[in-house]
Structure 1
Amino acid sequence: MGRMGNAGAGARDRDAEGRARSARPRDGLGRPLPYGAPGVERQAEGVVRTPAETVAEAQALLDDGKPFHAHEVFEDAWKSGPEEERTLWRGLAQLAVGLTHAARGNAAGGARLLRRGAGAVEEWAAGSGVRRPHGMELDGLAAWARELAGRVESGAGSVEAGVEAPRLRGPR
């Protein structure tokens, strides 16, 4: 990563390639913390993983209450995986970021992304004819997302990301 910290008015943090990228630490839900504060280690970007590695790493992050970081793992699969699976991985990334927003207290954004992700994984399953890609239970994930979206919208209480985390491969 490039320069760390805020070097003055108009200055921007940059990565090694010169792209703007905040060097501020983040908490488990991806919220920026003050420079110098301890934060959660970020997921490396652009990592090419096998589907099994993607599912296992994302599940561990979800279980640990870090859906923002799980979304980054899914985003890597979406960007580096085969074209025919991009809708699947994008939908899973939307589910993870929907959980992130719900846990941050953004009911409208969380519910919208949870429903969008549910629709994407269902659309992918219908188009591909594959109901359990890489061992994942897509019908269960879509049902989980819609149920959580409804609870979040109804104001049924706060969402704890690790407690609400879905099981990508079905029940525990």
Structure 2
Amino acid sequence: MDGRDRDAAGRARSARPRDGLGRPLPHGEPGVPRQPEGVVRTPAETVGEAQRLLDAGMPFHAHEVFEDAWKSGPGPEAPLWRGLAQLAVGLTHAARGNTVGGARLLRRGADALDPAPVPDVYGIDVPGLVVWARDLARRVETGGPPVDAAAEAPRLVPGAPGAPAAPRS
């Protein structure tokens, strides 16, 4: 055994607590509860949980929710969920100050979603998300103000209760 934390299947897992952007904290520090892996949700549950996490400034955790949908959902929908996961992790990197990685992942996600990879997108404003991601990528690359993950989280479904009608930026 190499001394690293392992899950039941033997995969390496860090038991260190994490902050809202998924960064490891020192052992013993309070952290944000991790998202359970492998949760199968309906598309509406996926969107709702991801939006809750985005609004809370936890895009890394939203990325994990999208990743579960990508890996457990029907094959034709995988590009949608993978693209959304890339947007969330791009926002994560941008908020962490990683301008190159953040911009690259935001663009990769936008490219994966443009045009929409599946015809029924569960009310998700895919064109609005593509515009939001490309605008944020440009801003991050040109040295704009620091990214606040909660304040700049996009709205996945326009007109949802308590939400602006379009992605924030």
The TM-score with structure 2 as length reference comes to: 0.91
CA positional deviation for 1:121: 1.1
Cα deviation per residue 1:50-96 (whole Å; 9 max; x = unaligned)? 00000000000000000000000000000000000001000000000
Tell me the distance in 2 between the aligned counterparts of 1:25 and 1:118. Answer: 31
Higher-Rg member (1/2): 1
Structure-1 residue corresponding to 2:79? 87
The answer to whether structure 1 residue 66 and structure 2 residue 58 are counterparts is yes
Percent identity (aligned)? 71
Question: Which amino acid counterpart does residue 101 of structure 2 have in structure 1?
Answer: G
RMSD: 1.4
The answer to whether structure 1 residue 138 and structure 2 residue 134 are counterparts is no
Task: Give the alignment partner of residue 150 of structure 2, picking from 132, 147, 162.
Answer: 162
- Structure 2 runs not aligned, ≥5 long: 165-169
Cα deviation per residue 1:25-55 (whole Å; 9 max; x = unaligned)? 1000000001111000000000000000000
Structure-1 residue corresponding to 2:15? 23
CA positional deviation for 1:17: 2.2
Task: Give the alignment partner of residue 4 of structure 2, picking from 3, 7, 12.
Answer: 12
Structure-1 residue corresponding to 2:139? 151
Tell me the distance in 1 between the aligned counterparts of 2:147 and 2:87. Answer: 14
Tell me the distance in 1 between the aligned counterparts of 2:58 and 2:124. Answer: 19
Structure-2 residue corresponding to 1:108? 100
The structure in which a higher percent of residues are helix is: 1
- Give 4+ residue runs of structure 1 displaced > 4 Å after superposition: none
CA positional deviation for 1:170: 2.1
Aligned residues: 160
- Aligned-partner SS, 1:91: helix
CA positional deviation for 1:19: 1.4
Question: Which amino acid counterpart does residue 141 of structure 1 have in structure 2?
Answer: L
- Structure 1 runs not aligned, ≥5 long: 1-9
CA positional deviation for 1:158: 0.3
CA positional deviation for 1:15: 1.1
- Aligned-partner SS, 1:134: coil
